[in-house]
Amino acid sequence: MSLIQQPIVSPAMKHRLALSAVLWLAPLTLLHAAEDEVRPEEIQFRRQAVTRLVFDSSQNIPLSSLRPAKVIDLDLMHPELLPGSSVKWEFKDGCLLATAPESGGASRRWVGGFNPFATYDLAIGHATGDGSAGMTFLHSKNGDSLTASLQFKDGKPESVTWQVLVGGKQVTDEKWPVPAGTKEENLTLRAQMSAVGVNLFIETDGKSDLIGYSDFSQHFDLRERKRVQQMDFCTSTDLKAGAKVLLNGVSSCLSPGSGQADIRAITDEEGAPLLDEGRLWFTITVRGRALPHPLQGVFSLNPSVFDLR
C-alpha cells in the first residue's frame, strides 16, 4: 500500500512562494496595461454632431420688444415720437395695425434702448396699399438717425432701403430689391448691427436671406458710449393714403448671428480648459458678412450631449 504524503511547508517558505507569485504577476499586469495604452499619435477623432446657429431664437438674449398682445397702454409703454403723427394705431387679433388717413402719414413709435451690436427684428403680418414699415435708430439730441425699411407697393414687398441722417441731413440712401418669390405675408425685416455697419435680412419660413449691407463709420462710430446712451430704437411707418400695415411684433436681442467660427477655449491660469457646471466655456466669432465686421461671443457646451448655448 502506497501513501501520498503532503509536503511540509514552513511559514517562511509560504512567504517566499507568495512573494514570487506577486513578482511574477506584476510584469504580466504591466504588459497588459502597456497593450491597452493608446499613444497620442494613435488617437482618432470622429465627429459626433454638428450644428450651425443662424439667428436661432432659442439662443437669443432678449433686450427690448414691442409685443402687441402684452401691451396695456400703447401710448404709455411705446409713445409716439413723431410730433403731429396722423397714423392710427389699433390692436387686432394680438397684432398692431397702423392705418394712414387719406392724406397719408408717418409714425415713429419708441420700442427700447439701443445696442450697437444687437440684432433688430420687425415682424410684419401683411400690408395693403403703398408705403413702408421699418426700424429707426435715433439720436435723441442731434438729429442723427439710421433707418432700415421694407418698401411695399399694392401690399407686395418691393425693396429694402437703408437711410442715414447726420444732423438731420441725409447722407446715405441705399436700396435693394427683395428676392423673387418673397412671401407677401408673415415675413421679418432684420437689421444685424456691428457698430460700424449693418447687414439687412429678410426672413420667411425660418430662412434668412441677406438682402444688402452698408457701412457708416465715415459718419459716426456707434461704439462711443455717450452716443449710445442718447439713442433709441423705434418702429417707423411711412404710409400713403389709406395704406395699412399689420405688425406682429418688434424686438432686439443679442443673437448668435448667421454663423460661427474661430473657437477658442477659455482656460484657467494653468492653461486647462475651464469646466464650470459641467460645461466647457469658449469664445467664438459671431459672423457678420466680412472680416472687418466680426463680433465675439461667449458660448458654453455640455460635451456629453452636445448642448451648445
- Let me know: does 239 contact 106? Beta carbons within 8 Å: yes
DSSP result, 236-270: EEEE-TT-EEEEEEEEEEE--TT-EEEEEE-B-TT
- Does 192 lie in the same domain as 302? no
- Does 239 lie in the same domain as 134? yes
- Does 233 lie in the same domain as 106? yes
Domain boundary among the residues 209, 225, 254 is at 254
Q: Comparing C-alpha atoms, which of 274, 279, 273 is closest to residue 309?
A: 279
- Does 199 lie in the same domain as 134? yes
**Predicted structure pTM score:** 0.80
219 — pLDDT class (breaks 50, 70, 90): very high
Asked whether residue 1 is domain-assigned, the answer is no
- Does 234 lie in the same domain as 211? yes
Asked whether residue 31 is domain-assigned, the answer is no
**Residue 105: CATH number of its domain:** 2.60.120.200
Q: Which of 14-18, 146-150, 233-237, 273-277 has the lowest mean pLDDT?
A: 14-18
Q: What is the number of other CB atoms lying within 10 angstroms of the CB of residue 84?
A: 7
Residue 174's domain comprises: 57-254
| pLDDT of residue 33 exceeding 60 | no
- Helix ranges restricted to H, the chain: 11-36, 74-77, 225-229
70 — pLDDT class (breaks 50, 70, 90): very high
- Let me know: does 201 contact 190? Beta carbons within 8 Å: yes
Domain boundary among the residues 232, 254, 276 is at 254
Q: Which of 3-12, 46-55, 199-208, 249-258 has the lowest mean pLDDT?
A: 3-12
Domain tally, the chain: 2
- Does 302 lie in the same domain as 189? no
- Does 144 lie in the same domain as 220? yes
pLDDT in tens, 146-181: 999 999 999 999 999 999 999 999 999 999 999 988
